[in-house]
Structure 1
Amino acid sequence: MIRAFRGELLSVARDPRGDAGAVRHEADGLLVVEDGIVVARGAYSDLAERFAGMAVEALPGLIVPGFVDSHVHYPQMDRIASHGEQLLDWLDRHIFPAEKAFADRAHADAVAEAFLGELLRNGTTSALVFPTVHAQSVDALFEAALARRMRIVSGKVLMDLGPEGLADTAETARGESEALIARWRGRGRLGYAVTPRFALTSSDAQLAVAGALVAEHPDVLMHTHLAENVRECEAVTDRFSCDYLDAYDRFGLVTARSVFAHGVHLTDRSCVRLEESGAGVAVCPSSNLFLGSGFFDFGQADRHGFRTGLGTDVGAGTSFSMLHTAGLAYQAALARGDRLDPFRALYLATAGSAALLHIGDRVGALEVGQEADFVVLDDAATPLLARRTAEASLAERLFALQILGDDRAIRRTYILGDCAWERGA
């Protein structure tokens, strides 16, 4: 099936710093999709004759690639906006009790359905997702994502030093992970990630199992947390007597397929190792502010040149909106004296996060040959947005959407060229 869409197209396929050609914009563009894949894109005037006679759907608004959330927790969505604690106490008080409920498959199914609905409502079409220690929490998420044809990467959480009701073992970590990989590999648009929660919740034996799984399955990612909170970092140093990243590295968990969430308190040594290994960091400004963890150092990351993307980190993050997250990333960068350009923020929320998740050849830029996941943004979604964007330049409109926008600015979300969510429908 071939479909054509006409409207204003914007994407940023590469980091735009020093590369003006990375920003691609067609004020009056045509996007042609066949069987879910982009087969043509360009100015309408250039393509109209080639596709004469084809029905064209006009889309009012700014069309951008579907957002890619590089770090989010689906079991935590019902504990979003939980008051009063920094990371370690917040986990004990709010999160671990909530995650124990995922021993019930029906509960996992219900939350997975609601979670994916929130992603689509906020324009997010791909995500790297933490489930819980329960294998069925992965099954529930993958089944719901498969039905929606979404590109979701996830994997059973490993935490044999977790609290009662959430602790597995090194042996069950391997067995259940292997079974999940076998069950879901190659199905739909799904991907697997070996997922130790963080260094303090796994024994050395289990971290070694995680490293072995990564080595034995070259198509999987490794997804965990790194250097989020000062107290957490101190506890890791006390246990492992080394730099936080080194604690993972000794178990083979620092590779080009490793995605580390946060990285707020990275040493230069860690930054050098991230760059040389090809690993990267999912920056989560909303949760870093909410839990009082600090501000990611974009300047440090840029000096060392390691890969970065953006994540909402719900439920410590306070919004599913990648627009809102991009706006907070600007503020976090400015707090350390760095200016995050709105086009670079869009890159981090789309193609940058896609590259971090090793799906950049498939999504993130709306280029020919990529999957047609895209979002229609409404820069007049609220009276204030409408006033701010009237007669504004493209950069000003995009920046206003990132600072003032949220789920209200999402007019439609498309998956593989089909409308998966529409405001008001």
Structure 2
Amino acid sequence: MQRRRFLGLTAAGAATAALAPALTACGSSGPGGSKHLKLVAADYGDKKDNSSKKYWDSLARDYESKNKGIKIDVEVYSWTEVDKKVADMVAAGKAPDIAQIGAYADFAAAGKLYPADQLLSIPTQADFISSIAAAGEVHRVQYGLPFVASTRLLFFNKKLFAKAGVTKAPESWDELQAAAIKLKAAGVKIPYGLPLGPEEAPAETMMWMLAGGGGYTDKNGAYTIDSAENVKAFEWVRDELVGKDLVGPNDPGRTNRQDVFDAFGAGDVGMLNGHPTLIQQAKAKGLDFDMTPLPGIKGKARSTMGVADWMMAFKQNNNRDSIGPFLDFVYSRDNVLSFTGQYNLLPVTTAASGAMHDDRAHGELWPFLDQLQDASFYPADKVSWAKVSVAIKEKIGAVVRKGGDPASVLSEIQRLADATENADG
């Protein structure tokens, strides 16, 4: 599948990617003096028929028909390659005018991006949901324009719950464990799906941290990866879920998000943390499922995880005056709804969110949408986050294995985060 699993940070440090040997120029003037803008975007589709290329091509042609002299050249790549494609272009001095990818902070820190207030009209900039817009800031200046978003809920298989005699969705970790024990006793292969493999380990990690009262950073933005709350959370997961054989036969540290999603669709998983695209996948399999807020250490988690993908505009070709009006068009209510509705994602603007909430056709997304304003996001504003994310993918699985030492592993990641942050600072 090309669809991203969903919206976890994939860039491993875009500014450090290898150079591409030969790339076409961007933002040039075309025949008759027409202005060409180059847009590079990620593909949210899982097959050719629903590729994001269709959306962007249609949007570009619509904009061109209303703005003579502007030509939008569109390139769309899978999530496995789009971040590196853009990094290669930038490193080779061939930056696109606009990129819609997974990370912006390293480009912003290098002075390569326009700030939002130099691009967008005041109404467009003010329409972003504030919690998401804040995640696009570096030193309190917004460079990352959120494009689409996601929050997380606990999904559970209603048929398996009934078979196991679980009568209510769990609200606390003790209730989650009790449900998992009953599911195991009823013969469910994977009572709780725990994907701590490299595909999206930072997401599952963050959800457990938040549910335990911790997180990646404090309110001032300083890393708190090895906090007492985070250590306690993973000691609980190690001892009370993995240690009691409640996560299935496979090593969680080698289990990817899509592996668990596929198993859920096959009816082998009792419950798991999921994002909106799991709705489509589960319905396609005819699964009878429901969703509930993430359980926390003593009750419902105080915060869920929010994730955003980013739009950004590069300075290299000096096309600010052309880029800004196009982005205003991209973020118009109807265009935002068109994209998010197609891929079951959450809009990042107040106008589109309100419209989605007023439309019963999007009712399944309302529980995710309700959490968006107060969700906690990856520290994507930190240039260091790309390297920290890679370290989490490589190391976090070890904390839940037999004999695993959460305090030691989290402290190792914390030291790397601090060192990287200090070097970047």
Shorter chain as denominator, the TM-score bin is under 0.3
Whichever structure has more helix as a proportion of its residues is: 2
> Which protein has greater RCO, CA pairs closer than 8 Å, 6+ apart?
2
With structure 1 as the length reference, what TM-score do the two structures score?
0.25
With structure 2 as the length reference, what TM-score do the two structures score?
0.25
Whichever structure has more strand as a proportion of its residues is: 1
